[in-house]
Structure 1
Amino acid sequence: MAIDTDQSAQLVVDLSRVVKLLRAVNVSVPRFHEYLESSAHPLLFAIHDEPARVTDLADRVHTDVSVVSRQVRHLETLGLVTKVPDPDDGRASLVTLSAEGTDLVTRVFDGRGQWMAQVLADWTPEQAASLNEGLTHLAESLRTELDALTSAKENR
């Protein structure tokens, strides 16, 4: 059974509000690295998940390759990532975390995890698990939609 238009419209409104609140919180939370904006965290998380080429990282973080390339250069300058030869293609490089980058990701995970635990302090574990399940499902649905839109655009 599909959800109705009114319910889905309310979800859009609620999600927009949550995104705005997250952005506002991100501006106010302490930084984990003096010269690194929190906007670079998703890229660090993607590299942490698996070292990859810049083009693959751009796909993972849903950002233009040129933006990710600039971010990677900045992360290299800060000593948080390094490039290593791609074992599948020696002409290409994989971006990987340095020891300092791995330490930073650990501190961000831990710090943000503690913060979220405080935000959800009045939630039951079941409510938090339900939110996590719903967000995972939403992300999968959005990825499917993005893939379909990208495919349709390429076929024009």
Structure 2
Amino acid sequence: MVHQKKRDDALALQDCYILNLPKIEDSRGNLTFVEGGVHLPFDIKRVYYLYDVPGGSHRGAHAHRNLHQFMVAMSGSFDVILSDGHQERTFHLNRSYFGLYICPMMWRNLDNFSSGAVCMVMASARYDEGDYIRDHGDFLQEVAR
């Protein structure tokens, strides 16, 4: 299990990374599974997915104060652009057997969705509007504290 950082610890872009998931190959079709606290550095409390994203559309454009997330391209592909307020990195997700772990206090934008792309997200907590930072300027101020 990966160590979870406390909210007071400084989080940086290198705390976000690609995780490979188990892949059981079979001539009848492959199987991949994920277990919270085993493959992910958190227990899964919520799962949601984005689909039918129109070409040229962007998603995300926010950060979370405390939420840990894991994103997987279940179908198609898309880019996840992460920023910790100091540096930025783009991750291209295009396989259902790996995904991107996103720690708290990362500004994220999702872009470049292929036709038929499905983005599944596993989250460490239930929906909480108070955990969102939706203004980039506010995010930069919180990061500077």
TM over 0.5: no
Task: Point out the structure with max Rg over C-alpha.
Answer: 1
Normalising by structure 1, we get a TM-score of 0.24
Query: Which structure dedicates a bigger proportion of its chain to strand?
Result: 2
Q: Which fold has the larger relative contact order, with Cα–Cα distance below 8 Å and residues 6 or more apart in sequence? A: 2
Query: Which structure dedicates a bigger proportion of its chain to helix?
Result: 1
Normalising by structure 2, we get a TM-score of 0.25
